[in-house]
Chain A
């Protein structure tokens, strides 16, 4: 059991008799009332995402999940294939389960595989990943209409909002959870 004050991204929980992984957790305080945690839960079987707000202190059952490093290999029309980097076993997950995470998968991308009772259920991307900008319009100084940002397509295929000074070919760090730009990668 955990209480909702400890609900954090990546925690696996039992909710309405099903297994879920917390994909997003946000602290909410209405000011005139107790604190709450707003969470997005991703169903480990179906990939369905639901939102629920938990009262702080409300208890919730956690599930034991084994988390191994794995590597993305390739995909076909229905499935995505990975290799567990500890057991070297290959496994497949359906496109529904992968969902929007596919936008950040490049060949050989390292991520985590999650197992419940030995069955691979889902993957987890590193919260921050580095990508190369393959296409973005040149930044225009004083462009206030867009709030100082523009769109960029990165090598994994996702479109990300980036600051005006980012140029094609540059390496950038992206927050894979909310798909936001973090910083340039100067390493």
Chain B
């Protein structure tokens, strides 16, 4: 159980987060947690339940959101320019290791007339305003500007691999084997990217200062826009603090055709992974056409941010009644 002292700090942090956005004229929105079409992210597994309508007893499959991003982008299409949302999201198969709870809290904010670099500045400003209410590990220097590095630079720095020259599975496999890097079990280009990233790069990230990792390979672009100078990469960044991913942000893809194409590919990928395939959300695609300006959006894991700000080692230390505790209490799990 979290101590009263920590709960009070968490309560203050929520208030300060809302104050930060309210002062910049963001509108706080509340999107549904339960929806017929959850996100299409190939590697996420939503919780499924059944909705029954009264009188006719008709049944519909509905899901708990893995992220509110589809609804947030629909709101951009409806003409809202600056919005934020603090909501619960749910992901099955994510439990344990001190960094995952299947139910967690996401802070998302979206801006029109902005790109992902503007969101890096937002992150610096937001977290800086939270510091007086926090007690992070003193070894982390939060003085802005924070570090920035592209994935291309990091692979070069830590593994001497030029991602640009290794754009195919065959090529990067050969390079990795030549450099004696472990790629066992990897089935595609992204697997190799992640295995090398997790083994050789992530352990160094953000230890003394927060760092923005940007320009991710376009194969992991999700809802982000491809980079204009090199389409192998996408305008996406992740914020790392003390080796932990805190946030994931995009310059938003607002081209409906490219988005439809990508969702089709993700449907195929889900099928090949034996995961449930969801229909393409046509309302979402239609709304992209009405987004007037280039836009950027970000999802920040609030519980992980609180771990950093309150110097806690496990996510269970900032979440009330975390699932591992509930499982132990109710199912006698060891």
A104-132 interface mask toward B, CB cutoff 8 Å, 1 = contact, 0 = none? Answer: 00000000000000000000000000000
CA–CA, A57 to B185, complex, Å?
7
Do A26 and B43 touch across chains, with their CB atoms under 8 A apart? no
Q: How large is the interface on A (under 10, 10 to 19, 20 to 34, 35 or more residues)?
A: 20 to 34
Do B41 and A34 touch across chains, with their CB atoms under 8 A apart? no
Q: Which residues of B contact A180 (CB under 8 A)?
A: 313-314
Interface residues in A125-150 by Cβ distance below 8 A to B read: 142, 144-148
Interface residues in B102-156 by Cβ distance below 8 A to A read: 135
Distance to closest chain A CB from B6 (angstroms):
6
Does A163 sit within 8 A of B, measured CB to CB?
yes
- Pick from A34, A52, A144: contact of B135, CB under 8 Å: A144
Do B94 and A34 touch across chains, with their CB atoms under 8 A apart? no
Q: Which residues of A contact B229 (CB under 8 A)?
A: none
Q: Which residues of A contact B187 (CB under 8 A)?
A: 34
Interface of chain B: mostly helix, strand, loop or mixed: loop
Does A91 sit within 8 A of B, measured CB to CB?
no
Do B312 and A178 touch across chains, with their CB atoms under 8 A apart? no
Interface size on B, residues (CB 8 A): 40
Q: Which residues of B contact A54 (CB under 8 A)?
A: 184-185
Do B313 and A53 touch across chains, with their CB atoms under 8 A apart? no
CA–CA, A149 to B211, complex, Å?
28
Q: Which residues of A contact B185 (CB under 8 A)?
A: 4, 54-55, 57-59
Does A29 sit within 8 A of B, measured CB to CB?
yes
Do A35 and B313 touch across chains, with their CB atoms under 8 A apart? no
- Tally the A-B contacts, defined by beta carbons under 8 Å: 91
Does B44 sit within 8 A of A, measured CB to CB?
yes
Q: Which residues of B contact A55 (CB under 8 A)?
A: 184-186, 191, 194-195
Q: Looking across the interface, which residue of chain B has its beta carbon closest to that of A24?
A: B97
Q: Looking across the interface, which residue of chain A has its beta carbon closest to that of B273?
A: A34
- Pick from B6, B43, B186, B314: contact of A31, CB under 8 Å: B43
CA–CA, A57 to B95, complex, Å?
17
- Pick from B95, B186, B216, B312: contact of A147, CB under 8 Å: B312
Q: Which residues of A contact B194 (CB under 8 A)?
A: 30, 33-34, 36, 55
Q: Which residues of A contact B216 (CB under 8 A)?
A: 32
Report the 3 A-B pairs with minimum CB-CB distance, sorted nearest first. Answer: A58-B185, A26-B97, A55-B185
Can you list 24 contacts pairing A with B, beta carbon distance less than 8 Å? A25-B97, A26-B98, A27-B95, A27-B97, A28-B99, A30-B197, A30-B198, A32-B43, A32-B220, A33-B43, A33-B190, A33-B220, A34-B43, A34-B194, A35-B43, A35-B93, A36-B194, A51-B203, A53-B195, A53-B198, A54-B185, A55-B184, A145-B135, A180-B314
Which residues of B are in contact with A by a Cβ distance under 8 Å?
Answer: 3, 5-6, 9, 41, 43-44, 93-100, 135, 182, 184-187, 190-191, 193-195, 197-199, 203, 216, 220, 222, 245, 248, 310-314
